[in-house]
Amino acid sequence: MGALVGLFILALRKYVPESPRWLMTHGYENKAERTIEKIESEVAEQTGQQLEPVRGQGLKIHPRKVFGFGVVARTMLSTYPSRSILGLVLMTSQAFLYNAVFFTYALILTRFYDVPAGRTGLYLLPFALGNFAGPLVLGHFFDVIGRKQMIAATYTISAVLLAITGWLFSRGLLSADSQTALWTVIFFFASAAASSAYLTVSEIFPLEIRAMAIAFFFSMGTAAGGVVAPWLFGYLIGSGSRVNIFYGYLVAAILMFVAAVVEAFYGLKAERISLEELAAPLSLSED
């Protein structure tokens, strides 16, 4: 199924215009102008009115085809160190939470709730629903209320709900159904939190390295959360102790809460602000 979706995206990509910003910074001025003209004409046709004239100070740039890894690393670690810390913490904490639950949930069901192995996949369906509904329902509020507030809120709510669920599990107060229901609610918020983490690192760095920023922090977060979490929870589940597993969930909850605090301190109010205002382009001319 994943491969089929990939093939569909390859076909769909043909009809998605390239970013005019990317085209300009890489020297494709004519293509950028044509893309903008096409978008503006479609919007004018849909709204039935002409767009207002562009306002604000223009930027002068020196386009170039390639932005090397040295430029990327220097920009992330030297120019924007606090933003790099924010991106790494957001990505690592959500990766740890997701991998802690998804890679071990079947073991929890079979070992502690006596669910037949062949039926564990059915319990993942509510997760899929929660993951889908979370960003769909909450995404609007990231623009209306604000990035900073919503990211901190979704991370905090996920952390609190996870800690409560872990405690109930340790006390033997949950069934397979009730635990699944609680985790579905957790991932309703956690999915929105994780989605916002991806978008955050694409907004807060210069536009020439937006894709590289996502790739870098995703790989680092996956290395930290995706490797450590399954190993840790596999060990804890192997101990057979509900309390030990609760401690593992508590670690995940603490990481999510720390991410919320870091967002509160280092997060940027990026809603309705141009990318150039958030971070000056690397190709910007000082002339």
In a domain, 73, yes or no: yes
41 and 91 in a single domain? The answer is no
125: CATH: 1.20.1250.20
Phi, psi of 61 (to 5 degrees): -125, 160
Residue with the larger pLDDT of the pair 178 and 226: 178
What pLDDT is stored for residue 286 in this prediction? 65
146 and 234 in a single domain? The answer is yes
In a domain, 42, yes or no: yes
110 and 248 in a single domain? The answer is yes
155 and 262 in a single domain? The answer is yes
Confidence of residue 186 (pLDDT cuts 50, 70, 90): very high
80 and 123 in a single domain? The answer is yes
- Give pLDDT tens digits for 29-43: 899 999 999 989 999
Is pLDDT above 80 for 56?
A: no
167 CB neighbour count, 10 Å cutoff: 14
93 and 151 in a single domain? The answer is yes
What pLDDT is stored for residue 107 in this prediction? 86
177 and 253 in a single domain? The answer is yes
- Give pLDDT tens digits for 64-85: 777 777 777 888 888 899 999 9
Q: What is the largest CA-CA distance in the chain?
A: 70
Confidence of residue 21 (pLDDT cuts 50, 70, 90): confident
- How far is Cα 40 from Cα 157, in angstroms, rounded to an integer? 40
In a domain, 53, yes or no: no
Residue with the larger pLDDT of the pair 203 and 158: 158
- Give pLDDT tens digits for 136-164: 999 999 888 988 999 999 999 999 999 99
* Structural domains counted in the chain: 2
Average pLDDT over the chain, rounded to whole?
87
157 and 243 in a single domain? The answer is yes
- How far is Cα 87 from Cα 266, in angstroms, rounded to an integer? 10
In a domain, 58, yes or no: no
137 and 261 in a single domain? The answer is yes
In a domain, 276, yes or no: no
Query: What is the domain range of residue 11?
Result: 2-47
- How far is Cα 247 from Cα 254, in angstroms, rounded to an integer? 10
In a domain, 64, yes or no: no
pTM of the predicted model, to two decimals?
Answer: 0.86
Q: Which of 95, 81, 84 is nearest to 213 (CA)?
A: 84
104 CB neighbour count, 10 Å cutoff: 20
Q: Which residues contact 99 (CB under 8 A, 6 or more apart)?
A: 225, 226, 229, 230
- Give pLDDT tens digits for 95-109: 888 888 877 788 888
State mean pLDDT over 56-67: 78
221 and 140 in a single domain? The answer is yes
Task: Give percent of the chain with pLDDT exceeding 90.
Answer: 32
What pLDDT is stored for residue 151 in this prediction? 93
What pLDDT is stored for residue 101 in this prediction? 81
Is pLDDT above 90 for 15?
A: no
What pLDDT is stored for residue 268 in this prediction? 87
195 and 251 in a single domain? The answer is yes
In a domain, 260, yes or no: yes
What pLDDT is stored for residue 156 in this prediction? 96
101 and 14 in a single domain? The answer is no
In a domain, 163, yes or no: yes
